[in-house]
Amino acid sequence: MDPQTQKQLQLLRESYSNTAAFVADLLADRFLQKQGRLICHFLKPLHKEYSADLQCHSEGQTSVLYWHGDRCCGQWFKGAVVQTLQLLTDSSLIDLLGLRPQPFLASQVLAASNPLISQDVRLVKQAFAFALELVANRCWSQSFWTMLFPYCVAGLYATEMADRRRCQLLCSRMSDALIKLEDLRKKAPMNSDLRALRDSLGTADWPLVREILVLGHQTQWDPSNEDMHHLVFTLFAGPGSTKDALESCFNWLKDSVKASKSKRMSDFTKYFYALCNPYVRHAGVSQIRPSQEDFRSLLDEMFKDEEVTKHHLFAYQKTKLGPNFPRPNELISNAKVRKAGFHSNRIAAAASAFILHDAPNGFTHAGDCWPGM
C-alpha cells in the first residue's frame, strides 16, 4: 500500500467496502506511522516560525513593520531553514523512526542493500529528501520578498541597522541593474532575450514600483530619510498574513452573497463588495466612506439617481470602461497578463538574481542561460 498520486490513492480507497475499513488499515500501517512522524519532526521549525509570526502580528504596527523588514533581510533563512537542516543530525530521529541503532563493532555494520535494514534505508532517504525539498521550497518562496520591488524596500525598516544597510545596497544595485536592462531594451527592441528577462520580473511595470525607483534614486535608498521612512511605513505597517489580505475578505464576500435576496451576485458586483470589505482596514488600507456632508452636497446640487444608474455599474458587460481597465475575456486570453502563484514568484526571483549577476556583463548571457517567462 504505497500510492504515489491522488488517482492511485482513490483507486486504493475504492478497493475497500467502506471508508472505516480503509482508515483502519491506514492507521495500522507501521511504515506509514513512521512517515507521519518524519513529516511532523521536520515541520517543527516552520510551526515555531508560524507561531512567532502570529504573535508578532498581534503586537501592533511597529512589530509588524519590523517583521516585514526582517523577512526581507532573510530572517526566515536564519531561523526555519537552518533549524530544519540541523534536524538531519538530531539523534532523536533514530528512536522516533524506530531505526536500528548503530552497532558497537565495525564488523557488525550491515550493508545498505541488506534486507534487514531495507526499511530503515528507505526512511532515511525519505527524511533527507523531504528536509531538502522543504528548505528549497522555503528559500524559493521567500526569495520573492527579498529580491523584488516593491517588497524588498521593507528591509530598510529591519530590526538591525546592519540589515538596513545591506538592504540599501541591494536596492541600489537592483534599481541600477533594472534601469541598465531597460536602456539596452530601448536600443535593441527586437532582442527577445532581453524582453523575456525584463518581463519575467513581473512587478517592474507597476506604477508603485516606478515611484519607488524615483524616490530611491533621489534619496540614495537611505533608510534614515524621512520620505523613504514614510513610504516603507505606509506599505508595510499592515499585516502580512494571507488571512488579513485574502481569507477574511473572501469569507466576508461569501457571507454577503448568502445574505442577498437572490443568493448570488455577478462578478463585477463581487468586485465592488470586495473593495469595501471591512477587513482592509486591518491590513492598513484606509477606506473612503461618504459622510452626511457628502450627501448634503449632492442634494444641494440637485443630484439625481439616474446620473449613476445610467452607467450600469453593476452590469459590467454594458459599462463603458477606460482602455486601462481590462475586460474579463482579455484577462483570460491575454498571454501578457502575469499569472500569480509560487511558480511565477520563483521565476521572478530568479530573474532578479540573474539581472544582478549579469548587469556588469551587459546581459550578454541572457540568451545562454535564461529560460524566459
In the chain, domain spans: 6-62+86-103+110-136, 148-234+256-284+295-373
Kindly provide the b/e burial profile for residues 48-63, where b requires at least 16 CB atoms within 10 angstroms of the residue's own CB.
ebeeebeebbeeeeee
CA–CA dist 230, 259 (Å, integer): 40
* pLDDT at res. 373: 45
Q: 153: Cβ–Cβ under 8 A, 6 or more apart, which residues?
A: 72, 167, 171, 212, 216, 221, 228, 231, 232, 235
CA–CA dist 288, 280 (Å, integer): 11
CA–CA dist 351, 148 (Å, integer): 9
Q: What is the pLDDT of residues 233-247, one digit of tens each?
A: 888 887 666 666 678
* pLDDT at res. 172: 95
Residues recorded for the chain? 373
Sign for the pseudo-dihedral over CA of 292, 297, 302, 304: negative
* pLDDT at res. 331: 60
Q: Give me the tens of pLDDT residue by residue for the chain, a chain 373 residues long.
A: 577 888 888 888 888 888 888 888 888 888 888 888 999 999 999 999 988 888 887 888 888 889 999 999 988 888 899 999 999 988 888 888 888 777 776 667 777 777 778 888 888 899 999 999 999 988 888 888 899 999 999 999 999 999 999 999 999 999 999 999 999 999 988 888 888 888 888 888 888 999 999 999 999 999 999 999 899 988 888 766 666 667 888 888 888 888 888 888 877 678 778 877 877 666 556 666 667 787 777 777 776 767 667 766 666 566 666 666 666 666 665 556 667 777 888 888 999 999 999 999 999 888 877 655 4
Sign for the pseudo-dihedral over CA of 362, 364, 367, 368: negative
Count the neighbouring beta carbons within 10 Å of the beta carbon of residue 211.
Answer: 12
Answer yes or no: are the C-beta atoms of 229 and 223 closer than 8 Å.
yes
Phi, psi angles (nearest 5°) of residue 216: -60, -40
Count the neighbouring beta carbons within 10 Å of the beta carbon of residue 89.
Answer: 7
CA–CA dist 349, 146 (Å, integer): 8
* pLDDT at res. 130: 93
* pLDDT at res. 322: 66
Amino acid 320 reads K
Answer yes or no: are the C-beta atoms of 273 and 256 closer than 8 Å.
yes
CA–CA dist 270, 267 (Å, integer): 5
Count the neighbouring beta carbons within 10 Å of the beta carbon of residue 192.
Answer: 11
Would you call 240 helix, strand, or coil by DSSP?
coil
Answer yes or no: are the C-beta atoms of 95 and 37 closer than 8 Å.
no
* pLDDT at res. 142: 87
Peptide bond into 150 cis (omega under 30): yes
DSSP string for residues in 255-323? HHHHHSSSS---HHHHHHHHHT-GGGGTTTPPP----HHHHHHHHHTT--THHHHTT-TT-TTT----T
Alpha helix (H) ranges present in 112-191?
Answer: 118-147, 161-187
Count the neighbouring beta carbons within 10 Å of the beta carbon of residue 183.
Answer: 9
Q: What is the pLDDT of residues 261-310, one digit of tens each?
A: 888 887 767 877 887 787 766 655 666 666 778 777 777 777 676 766 77
Q: What is the pTM of this model?
A: 0.69
Helix and strand tally (H, E) in the chain? 21, 0
